[in-house]
Amino acid sequence: MTNCGCKPTQTEAQEQSRILWTALTLNALMFVTEVAGGIAIDSTGLVADGLDMLSDACAYAIALAAIGRSSRFKANAAWISGMLLLVLGAGLVADVIRRMFEGGSPQGIWMIAISLPALAVNIIVLRMLAKQRSAEVHMRAAWIFTRADVIANAAVILSGIAVAVTQIRYFDLAIGAAIGAYVIREALEIWRETRQAKSASRA
Protein backbone atom coordinates (compact mmCIF):
# COMPACT_ATOMS: atom_id res chain seq x y z
CA MET A 1 0.00 0.00 0.00
CA THR A 2 1.40 3.41 -0.93
CA ASN A 3 0.65 7.02 0.00
CA CYS A 4 -2.21 7.15 -2.47
CA GLY A 5 -4.76 8.36 -0.01
CA CYS A 6 -6.49 4.97 -0.11
CA LYS A 7 -7.95 3.59 3.07
CA PRO A 8 -6.49 0.29 4.28
CA THR A 9 -8.62 -2.82 4.12
CA GLN A 10 -10.04 -4.15 7.38
CA THR A 11 -7.35 -6.85 7.47
CA GLU A 12 -4.59 -4.27 6.88
CA ALA A 13 -6.01 -1.99 9.57
CA GLN A 14 -6.19 -4.86 12.06
CA GLU A 15 -2.59 -5.83 11.32
CA GLN A 16 -1.42 -2.24 11.75
CA SER A 17 -3.32 -1.98 15.02
CA ARG A 18 -1.84 -5.23 16.36
CA ILE A 19 1.70 -4.18 15.53
CA LEU A 20 1.31 -0.70 16.98
CA TRP A 21 -0.28 -1.91 20.22
CA THR A 22 2.56 -4.40 20.69
CA ALA A 23 5.15 -1.70 19.98
CA LEU A 24 3.44 0.78 22.32
CA THR A 25 3.31 -1.69 25.22
CA LEU A 26 6.93 -2.81 24.86
CA ASN A 27 8.23 0.76 24.55
CA ALA A 28 6.25 1.94 27.57
CA LEU A 29 7.76 -0.86 29.67
CA MET A 30 11.29 -0.10 28.49
CA PHE A 31 10.78 3.63 29.10
CA VAL A 32 10.15 2.93 32.79
CA THR A 33 13.06 0.47 32.98
CA GLU A 34 15.64 2.68 31.25
CA VAL A 35 14.74 5.98 32.91
CA ALA A 36 14.62 4.40 36.37
CA GLY A 37 17.91 2.63 35.70
CA GLY A 38 19.52 5.72 34.22
CA ILE A 39 18.59 7.84 37.23
CA ALA A 40 19.79 5.14 39.63
CA ILE A 41 23.24 4.86 38.02
CA ASP A 42 23.51 8.48 36.86
CA SER A 43 23.64 7.64 33.13
CA THR A 44 22.69 10.36 30.65
CA GLY A 45 22.71 7.85 27.81
CA LEU A 46 20.21 5.54 29.50
CA VAL A 47 17.87 8.38 30.47
CA ALA A 48 18.06 9.72 26.92
CA ASP A 49 17.29 6.31 25.47
CA GLY A 50 14.42 5.83 27.92
CA LEU A 51 12.88 9.17 26.99
CA ASP A 52 13.26 8.20 23.35
CA MET A 53 11.22 5.08 24.19
CA LEU A 54 8.52 7.32 25.68
CA SER A 55 8.38 9.47 22.56
CA ASP A 56 8.05 6.29 20.51
CA ALA A 57 5.16 5.08 22.65
CA CYS A 58 3.44 8.44 22.06
CA ALA A 59 4.12 8.17 18.33
CA TYR A 60 2.63 4.67 18.22
CA ALA A 61 -0.46 5.96 20.02
CA ILE A 62 -0.80 8.75 17.45
CA ALA A 63 -0.37 6.24 14.62
CA LEU A 64 -3.08 4.05 16.16
CA ALA A 65 -5.45 7.02 16.17
CA ALA A 66 -4.67 7.58 12.47
CA ILE A 67 -5.60 4.08 11.28
CA GLY A 68 -8.54 4.25 8.89
CA ARG A 69 -8.56 8.05 8.89
CA SER A 70 -7.99 10.42 5.98
CA SER A 71 -4.60 10.99 4.35
CA ARG A 72 -4.56 14.51 5.77
CA PHE A 73 -5.17 13.20 9.30
CA LYS A 74 -2.35 10.66 8.90
CA ALA A 75 0.03 13.32 7.61
CA ASN A 76 -0.85 15.56 10.55
CA ALA A 77 -0.32 12.63 12.94
CA ALA A 78 3.13 12.05 11.46
CA TRP A 79 3.90 15.79 11.78
CA ILE A 80 3.00 15.67 15.49
CA SER A 81 5.29 12.64 15.87
CA GLY A 82 8.09 14.67 14.32
CA MET A 83 7.42 17.51 16.74
CA LEU A 84 7.69 15.10 19.68
CA LEU A 85 11.05 13.92 18.40
CA LEU A 86 12.31 17.46 17.88
CA VAL A 87 11.38 18.55 21.41
CA LEU A 88 12.90 15.39 22.86
CA GLY A 89 16.16 15.82 20.91
CA ALA A 90 16.55 19.42 22.02
CA GLY A 91 15.83 18.44 25.62
CA LEU A 92 18.44 15.68 25.53
CA VAL A 93 21.12 18.02 24.23
CA ALA A 94 20.25 20.55 26.94
CA ASP A 95 20.46 17.84 29.63
CA VAL A 96 23.89 16.76 28.40
CA ILE A 97 25.13 20.33 28.75
CA ARG A 98 23.73 20.46 32.30
CA ARG A 99 25.35 17.15 33.26
CA MET A 100 28.74 18.33 32.03
CA PHE A 101 28.84 20.59 35.06
CA GLU A 102 27.18 18.29 37.59
CA GLY A 103 26.60 14.57 38.08
CA GLY A 104 28.81 11.59 38.69
CA SER A 105 30.20 8.78 36.56
CA PRO A 106 27.70 6.07 35.54
CA GLN A 107 28.23 2.34 36.00
CA GLY A 108 29.13 0.94 32.61
CA ILE A 109 28.14 -2.67 33.36
CA TRP A 110 24.64 -1.60 34.37
CA MET A 111 24.34 0.56 31.26
CA ILE A 112 25.02 -2.53 29.15
CA ALA A 113 22.72 -4.79 31.19
CA ILE A 114 19.75 -2.42 30.89
CA SER A 115 20.35 -1.52 27.24
CA LEU A 116 20.55 -5.10 25.95
CA PRO A 117 16.86 -5.97 26.54
CA ALA A 118 15.90 -2.54 25.16
CA LEU A 119 17.85 -3.33 21.99
CA ALA A 120 16.14 -6.73 21.71
CA VAL A 121 12.71 -5.11 22.10
CA ASN A 122 13.40 -2.53 19.41
CA ILE A 123 14.76 -5.08 16.95
CA ILE A 124 11.57 -7.12 17.38
CA VAL A 125 9.40 -4.03 16.84
CA LEU A 126 11.48 -2.88 13.86
CA ARG A 127 11.03 -6.25 12.17
CA MET A 128 7.27 -6.08 12.69
CA LEU A 129 7.08 -2.53 11.34
CA ALA A 130 9.32 -3.35 8.35
CA LYS A 131 6.33 -4.98 6.66
CA GLN A 132 4.46 -1.67 6.91
CA ARG A 133 7.29 0.79 6.19
CA SER A 134 6.21 1.34 2.56
CA ALA A 135 2.58 1.84 3.58
CA GLU A 136 1.04 5.09 4.79
CA VAL A 137 2.99 8.01 6.20
CA HIS A 138 1.97 7.42 9.83
CA MET A 139 3.35 3.87 9.66
CA ARG A 140 6.52 5.09 7.97
CA ALA A 141 6.97 7.58 10.82
CA ALA A 142 6.62 4.76 13.35
CA TRP A 143 9.29 2.77 11.50
CA ILE A 144 11.66 5.76 11.52
CA PHE A 145 11.14 6.18 15.26
CA THR A 146 12.04 2.55 15.90
CA ARG A 147 15.06 2.64 13.61
CA ALA A 148 16.37 5.56 15.66
CA ASP A 149 15.87 3.54 18.84
CA VAL A 150 17.88 0.57 17.57
CA ILE A 151 20.80 2.86 16.75
CA ALA A 152 20.50 4.63 20.10
CA ASN A 153 20.42 1.31 22.01
CA ALA A 154 23.55 0.09 20.26
CA ALA A 155 25.28 3.41 20.98
CA VAL A 156 24.46 3.21 24.71
CA ILE A 157 25.84 -0.33 24.87
CA LEU A 158 29.10 0.81 23.25
CA SER A 159 29.21 3.75 25.64
CA GLY A 160 28.68 1.38 28.57
CA ILE A 161 31.63 -0.72 27.44
CA ALA A 162 33.81 2.38 27.13
CA VAL A 163 32.78 3.67 30.57
CA ALA A 164 33.32 0.25 32.18
CA VAL A 165 36.82 0.00 30.72
CA THR A 166 38.00 3.59 31.24
CA GLN A 167 35.74 4.97 34.02
CA ILE A 168 35.49 8.16 31.94
CA ARG A 169 31.95 9.58 32.11
CA TYR A 170 32.35 11.72 29.01
CA PHE A 171 31.68 8.67 26.85
CA ASP A 172 28.19 8.59 28.37
CA LEU A 173 27.71 12.32 27.82
CA ALA A 174 28.90 12.06 24.22
CA ILE A 175 26.40 9.27 23.51
CA GLY A 176 23.61 11.28 25.14
CA ALA A 177 24.45 14.26 22.92
CA ALA A 178 24.71 12.03 19.83
CA ILE A 179 21.29 10.49 20.54
CA GLY A 180 19.82 13.97 20.91
CA ALA A 181 21.32 15.10 17.59
CA TYR A 182 20.18 11.93 15.83
CA VAL A 183 16.65 12.28 17.20
CA ILE A 184 16.50 15.84 15.81
CA ARG A 185 17.64 14.52 12.41
CA GLU A 186 14.91 11.85 12.49
CA ALA A 187 12.30 14.51 13.30
CA LEU A 188 13.33 16.49 10.22
CA GLU A 189 13.12 13.32 8.11
CA ILE A 190 9.57 12.66 9.32
CA TRP A 191 8.59 16.23 8.46
CA ARG A 192 10.10 15.84 4.98
CA GLU A 193 8.07 12.69 4.39
CA THR A 194 4.97 14.41 5.72
CA ARG A 195 5.34 17.20 3.17
CA GLN A 196 5.78 14.62 0.40
CA ALA A 197 2.67 12.75 1.54
CA LYS A 198 0.60 15.95 1.58
CA SER A 199 1.84 16.85 -1.89
CA ALA A 200 0.97 13.37 -3.17
CA SER A 201 -2.53 13.54 -1.69
CA ARG A 202 -3.18 16.84 -3.46
CA ALA A 203 -1.88 15.53 -6.81
How high does pLDDT run on average in the chain?
80
Which range in 73-77, 94-98, 154-158 is most confidently predicted, on average pLDDT?
Answer: 154-158
pLDDT digits (tens, 9 = 90+) for 23-69: 899 989 988 998 898 888 888 778 878 877 887 887 788 778 777 77
Structure confidence at residue 2 as a pLDDT band (50, 70, 90): very low
Q: Distance (Å, rounded) from C-alpha 115 to C-alpha 107?
A: 12
Q: Which CATH class is domain 10-202?
A: mainly alpha
Residues 6+ apart with CB under 8 A from 82: 141, 187, 188, 190, 191, 194
pLDDT digits (tens, 9 = 90+) for 151-187: 888 888 988 898 888 888 888 888 888 888 887 887 8
Ordered by start, the domain boundaries in the chain are: 10-202
Q: Distance (Å, rounded) from C-alpha 145 to C-alpha 132?
A: 13
How deeply is 101 buried, as exposed, middle or buried, from its count of CB atoms within 10 A (0-12, 13-18, 19+)?
exposed
3-17, 20-34, 94-108: least confident range: 3-17
pTM of the model: 0.69
